[in-house]
Amino acid sequence: MENLDRYDKIILRMLQANGRASNVELSEQVNLSPPQCYRRVHRLEKEGIIRGYAAQVEPAAIGLGVTAFVSLNIAREQFKQVRKLEKIIRAFPEILECYAISGDFDYLLKVVANDLKSLSGFLTDRLMQVPGVAGVKSMVCLEEIKSPSPLPLAD
C-alpha cells in the first residue's frame, strides 16, 4: 500500500462506492485531469489492485433465499491433491467465497442456495462427493446484518 498516494486512495474509495463512475466524474472528485485520472485507474487495474467491476445482485431477488457458511475438512492423505480439490471448489457456482483457514477446519465457504432442501442436496450430493472431502459443517445464515462493504483505506 506504500505505493498508493492520496489520489489513488480517493479513486479507490470512489470506485468501491460506485464502480460505474465515469472517468470525468472521477477526475472531478480527485481534482486531476481526465487523462491523469485514466492513467491512474489503468495502472491500478494493471497492478491487480482493482480486481474487476461487478453489479451487486440481491440474492433473494433471484431466488437464492439461503446463505450458509460451510466449514470443510480434507482428508490428510489428500493433501497431495489439494490444488485439484481447490479447482473443483472454484467450479461450483453455489460457492461464492472460499478461504483456507487455520483452526479446526481447512476451508470456510460461503454458499448460496434456493432453499434448505437445495442446500442439503448441494452439500450431500455434490460437495461431500468431491474426492478428498472428509467432512463438512454448515451454519445457515438467519439474517444479513452487514453486506459486503468497501475495503477501508487509511489516509
Q: Structurally, what CATH architecture does the domain formed by 59-140 represent?
A: 2-Layer Sandwich (3.30)
The pLDDT assigned to 111 comes to 98
Question: How is residue 17 written as a grid cell?
Answer: 462506492
The pLDDT assigned to 148 comes to 86
Strand duo 133-140 + 95-100: pairing: unpaired
Residue with cell string 470525468: 24
Provide block-wise average pLDDT over 10 residues at a time, the chain (155 residues): 85 94 94 96 96 93 97 89 94 97 97 98 97 96 92 86
The pLDDT assigned to 78 comes to 78
Burial of 112 (0-12, 13-18, 19+ CB in 10 A): buried
38-46, Cβ contacts within 8 angstroms, sequence gap of 24 or more = 40/7, 40/8, 40/11, 41/11, 41/15, 44/8, 44/11, 44/12
The pLDDT assigned to 17 comes to 92
The pLDDT assigned to 2 comes to 62
Q: How many angstroms separate the CA atoms of 138 and 133, rounded?
A: 14
Domain boundaries, the chain: 6-46, 59-140
The fold for domain 6-46 equals: Arc Repressor Mutant, subunit A (1.10.10)
Q: How many angstroms separate the CA atoms of 2 and 49, rounded?
A: 12
